[in-house]
Amino acid sequence: MRVALIAATLLTTAAQAKEPATLATLEQLAAQHAWDELLERAEDIAPSNRDERWSTQVTAAATAVLTSGAGGVPFERVARADRLADRYRFLQSASGFITARDAAVATGAERCMSETGDAPCWKALKELEPTLSPAGAFSLASVLKKNGALPWRVMALFARGVTAKDAPTCRDAALQSATLGALELPEGDAAARDARAVAFDLCWAALQPKLRAAMVGASRSRLRNSCKALRARGALTDMQEALCRDEEQ
């Protein structure tokens, strides 16, 4: 009798566990913020039935698991994001998920630098940086700059974050500081090239006063990076023009 009861219970439980989730189930799980379970059961929906409602629930769940809780090792959330993006390919172009992953990289970098020291973090970031969105690149650059990274290291990320001429990011103090600093690098350096593009093409309106001020007592590298562009904009004083000519000879 007791054996029969146990068997019946087990069978009932198994039947319940195997019962495939419906869209309504997923929405119910979302309402309960049962994100992990939602992600586990989302594939119960047949591919042909995976409509916008389904992708909305999955995106919400994937974004939520990246932004909730303390997280383990510094870049653990990024790894989880990438596993989810492999499993649910559409996440790779879901803006909310992209933003959450970008944030996971930035917070991971900040934690990495405070917990493990710079070297392993730079190694991890080298692989992660190309995967960031423009906004993510900008956020990471800001975090790195705040943590003492030099202009040559962050300039490319800042440059990626300026997506249009006179973009709001042009007014960012950290970007301006990095750009002015990178103009002190040798002319052929990649960071100097990025700095020239930001300074003289994309963010000229916002940076102009600082670029002009930096010409007082300018180093040779600054002159080489700045003379041509400043001359073209009529922004050189007579003395600066003379100094530029000296440098160009």
Site for another protein in 59-118 (CB under 8 A): none
CB of 219 to another protein, least distance (A): 11
* Choice between 29 and 223, CB closer to another protein: 223
End-to-end Cα, the chain, rounded Å: 103
Helix (H) or strand (E) holding 180: helix 173-182
List, in order, residues 6 or more apart from 166 with CB less than 8 Å away: 202, 203, 205, 206
Angle of helix 204-213 versus helix 220-232 axis, rounded to 10: 130
Q: Is residue 242 within the footprint of another protein (CB under 8 A)? A: yes
CB of 212 to another protein, least distance (A): 9
Cα–Cα distance, 160 to 40 (Å, whole number): 35
Task: Lay out the site mask for another protein across 184-223 (x = CB under 8 A, - = otherwise).
Answer: -------------------------------xxx------
Q: Is residue 243 within the footprint of another protein (CB under 8 A)? A: yes
25: tokens are: 């189930």
Region from 19-27, 56-64, 70-78, 239-247 binding another protein, contact rule CB under 8 A: 239-247
Interface with another protein (CB under 8 A)? 215-217, 237, 239-240, 242-243, 245-246
